[in-house]
Chain A
Amino acid sequence: MDLYDWLLFLHVLSAFLAVGALTALWALVLSSRGATPTLAPASAMRFGQTAGIVVGIGMMGAIIFGIWLAIDVDGYELWDPWILISIVIWAISGSAGGQAGKAFATGTPEGRRAGIRYQAVNSVGLFVILLLMIWKPGA
């Protein structure tokens, strides 16, 4: 395996971590609806904190190895529109993810509603980045 192989593997694995843990967080949101949620609040909080940390690790890995790839690969530049747009969306998405964690941590119904909104922004952002990574418009 050469450097390109390692970078691509770690970039994609990080993306899987981020989207995977975000999927787990949506499962948590769905299961904690209503008057009798499936999980006790303490368990839900622990689950959410752990999955949130994994989302953060995945997003950091994806951007670090992604930028490294863009520098390493001859055909790509950091200022290619699809890469630049992805980096901007990643920043917005990451910020929303951080806000979601803070909102959920308040443990209030208002915090939960705000957390869901921020998590939706985070998810849509990662979804759009996935589309850009597959289609690579302009590449």
Chain B
Amino acid sequence: MSVLASIRPDEVNFPLFLHVFGAMLLVGTLFAVALATVLAWRRPDDAVGLTRFSLLTLLMGVLPAYILMRIGAQWTESQENFPDDFDPTWLGIGYITADAGALLVLISLILGAVGLRKLRSGSGGVGFGRAVGVICILLLAAYVVAVWAMTTKPT
């Protein structure tokens, strides 16, 4: 069974690589945002700098990584040539976390852009950074579930 699970068509490898690499970059940028947010909470003296760092990382890193992960996922699925009625739980979990995650990423990008603008004008913005950080921690938790579903493939 284990050996069977490791065998896949060669044409799946490159799309799968893009999917996994994109997911790793996505997790990395979300981790950076979450860590900076937690540090900003614990270090009020540098909260503005940490919030600026977290929001810049979010705006420049999360969306490209998400797009790479999502395109890789769709391409991988198309190369796998699953039958039309193929609808396993693990694939459903993947779609739910990716698509619900897209909504949260979009919300966090909007909050992040507003927060960064406020930071630059000196009229606050740390609160927006905290809200974005909380969303990123939720996304990280969801993506741990997604990694579990993609690796163990529950039926």
State the CA gap A135–B17 with chains docked (Å): 9
A131 surroundings in chain B (CB, below 8 A)? 17
Residue-wise interface mask of B (1-39) relative to A, using a CB-CB cutoff of 8 A (1 in contact, 0 not): 111011000000100110011011101111110011001
A35 interface contact, C-beta 8 A: no
Interface size in chain B (residues, C-beta < 8 A):
39
7 CB contacts below 8 A, A to B, read A5-B152, A21-B31, A24-B31, A38-B49, A46-B39, A130-B20, A136-B6
Contacts A1-B152, A38-B49; A47 near B36 (Cβ below 8 A) = yes
B25 surroundings in chain A (CB, below 8 A)? 19, 23
B123 interface contact, C-beta 8 A: no
Contact residues of B: prevailing secondary structure: helix
Pick from A67-75, A93-101, A112-120 the stretch touching chain B: A67-75
A8 interface contact, C-beta 8 A: yes
A27 pairs with B61, CB closer than 8 A: yes
B97 interface contact, C-beta 8 A: no
**Could you list which residues of chain B lie within 8 angstroms of chain A, going by C-beta atoms?**
1-3, 5-6, 13, 16-17, 20-21, 23-25, 27-32, 35-36, 39, 43, 45-46, 49-50, 52-53, 56-57, 61, 144, 147-148, 150-152, 154
Q: Would you give the shortest CB distance from B114 to chain A, in whole angstroms?
A: 18
A134 pairs with B6, CB closer than 8 A: no
Interface size in chain A (residues, C-beta < 8 A):
39
A43 pairs with B144, CB closer than 8 A: no
State the CA gap A21–B28 with chains docked (Å): 6
Contacts A8-B151, A9-B148; A24 near B29 (Cβ below 8 A) = yes
B24 pairs with A23, CB closer than 8 A: yes
Q: Would you give the shortest CB distance from A120 to chain B, in whole angstroms?
A: 16
Choose one: B2, B13, B31; the contact of A74 (CB below 8 Å). Answer: B2
